[in-house]
A and B are shown apart, each in its own frame.
Chain A
Amino acid sequence: MFTFPQELIKEPIIYTLSHQFKVVTNIRRADISEDKGWVVLELEGDEKEIEQGIAWVTAKGVRVDPVIGDIVEG
């Protein structure tokens, strides 16, 4: 799941991800408004490309969470 802050709502992050990194993106659920948004999407492609793509998306300021499982601190 990608969670977008307000300043990135207008940026074509997912489009750029799929073009720059050879990753096929497939959106399953989403809710985008003027001030925030989240997208649940599938990423398909070479493992390294996906990892680099996620690193790029994260560096842009998008929060990336895996959909599987709960990340427990304790």
Chain B
Amino acid sequence: MSYARALRCRKCGQEYPLQPLNLCDFCLSPLEVSYDYKSMAKAVSREKLSGGTLSMWRYRDMLPVEGKEVDIGTGFTPLVKADNLGHELGLNRLYIKNDCLNPTYSFKDRVVSVAVTKAREFGFDTIACASTGNLAASVAAHAAKANMKAYVFVPSEVEPGKLVGAAIYNPVLVTVKGSYDDVNRLCARLVERYNWGFININLRPYYAEGSKTLGYEVAEQLGWRAPDCVVAPAASGLLFTRIWKGLDELAMLGLIEAVNTHMYLAQATGCSPIVNAFQAGSLHVHPVEPDTIAKSIAIGNPADGYYALRVARQSGGGACAVTDEEAIAGMKLLAQTEGIFAEAAGGVVIAGLKRLATSGVIKRNELTVAFITGAGPKTQEIVSGIVQPFAVQPNLESFEEVLGARA
């Protein structure tokens, strides 16, 4: 059973019953699920959680769902001690939270699992989203598992190759003539016309909660404590705020000590509206035109930008933007030290972590967790230049001539 009691506007405090609703009627700010933490605290304990299923759903008492979950095997991904990378960066207690290892290879499985579960509870038979990448794949996969129809909307000029990861699950794939802006505007109209669960429109407050499980898992895997520092990517800012919320909730429920984690967000310089606002000391996040290879975090107008900004500031953390070149170098560094092939957003995180460590912002002995939210093979074309084989003839002489000195 869920301890969710209402939807609440973070800006003005207005409350609404639990329903498929995204924005406050009054001030058009995003709504958030509000819980009865007092009752929740009686239901959860370290022992009970530790004995739970080996997936994100071990935390179901802290998620806004009532019935059976739609789960394709998501979560409880490895938290790896990154000794090699740590040595390179001068950090003694560095961990990587490897969310590449979810069923559709990104952290989106967490948020979509909650959203689709909720969609089914609300009686939707169709779910939908606008995305080419991680979200599309996860939505299509979960729809298949839940026996629901899925519509995936993409701009028409996207290369077909990018859509295989979603198309394999047999959603209804719709190409829209225009930009992403146009696709989103169409979806905003469709949600009014059709009784569909749009994953990041009318289901957004529930979708958002799935990311808290990243915070829960990391704390549990560290032996029931929060890290000293977190480095995570920011697109809409939702993931970043929910990692913090997850840690904060565990403290509120008495499961860990009070949280003193410094939260650092990383973006690409080609799309860094939140970092810009942080560095300008501004309260408002001004939209930008995205221009980066890190497509999965290329949101020019982040809906949760203000809240992510607030978390970075209030936690005594920060925000940094790295170039595409640094991101690619970050992808290579992570792969070549820890054997983890992350997508570009992961490269952004590692490059940001490197900057923060080198400048002494993150200290050598601070327990630091870097969040890798999606796997590299999906966008491997951005590092295709890495393939530089040595060519030999099929004989020993040739090998020794070409590689003898190395072997």
Q: What is the interface of chain A, defined by CB distance below 8 A to chain B?
A: 1, 3, 28-29, 31, 36, 38, 40, 42, 63, 65-74
Contact = CB atoms under 8 A, between A and B. Distances in A.
Interface residues of B, number: 43
Given A1-B301, A68-B188, A69-B198, 6 more contacts: A68-B184, A69-B204, A69-B303, A72-B236, A74-B131, A74-B298
Determine chain B's interface SS by DSSP, over half rule. loop
Interface stretch (B21-29, B215-223, B311-319): B21-29
Nearest to B238: A70
Contact of B185 (A40, A66, A72): A66
Q: Which 9 A-B pairs have the closest CB atoms?
A: A74-B295, A73-B298, A74-B133, A70-B236, A65-B301, A74-B296, A68-B188, A73-B295, A28-B28
Contact of A73 (B22, B185, B299): B299
Contact of B188 (A31, A69, A74): A69
| Max chain B C-beta neighbours (<10 A), residue from A36, A38, A70 | A70
Given A29-B29, A36-B286, A72 B22 contact: no
A71 B22 contact: no
B299 A40 contact: no
A72 B286 contact: no
Nearest to A29: B27
Given A28-B27, A28-B28, A74-B134, A69 B187 contact: yes
Contacts, number: 90
Contacts of A65: 181, 287, 300-301
| Max chain B C-beta neighbours (<10 A), residue from A28, A31, A36, A68 | A68
A69 B284 CA distance: 18
Contacts of B235: 70, 72
Contacts of B22: 68-69
| Max chain B C-beta neighbours (<10 A), residue from A1, A40, A63, A74 | A74
Interface string B179-205: 011011101100100000010110010
B96 interface: no
B57 to A, nearest CB: 25
13 contacts: A1-B287, A31-B284, A36-B286, A65-B300, A68-B201, A69-B198, A69-B204, A69-B303, A70-B238, A71-B300, A73-B132, A73-B290, A74-B298
Interface string B298-334: 1111110000000000000000000000000000000
Contacts of A29: 11, 27-29
B243 interface: no
Contact of A72 (B135, B201, B287, B379): B135
Contacts of B188: 66, 68-69
Nearest to B302: A70
B23 A67 contact: yes
A6 to B, nearest CB: 12
A50 to B, nearest CB: 11
B28 A70 contact: no
A63 B300 CA distance: 11
B355 to A, nearest CB: 23
B368 to A, nearest CB: 27
A30 B119 CA distance: 33
A66 B135 CA distance: 19
A42 B28 CA distance: 9
B180 A73 contact: yes
Contact of A71 (B184, B204, B286, B296): B184
A40 B298 contact: no
A67 B187 CA distance: 12
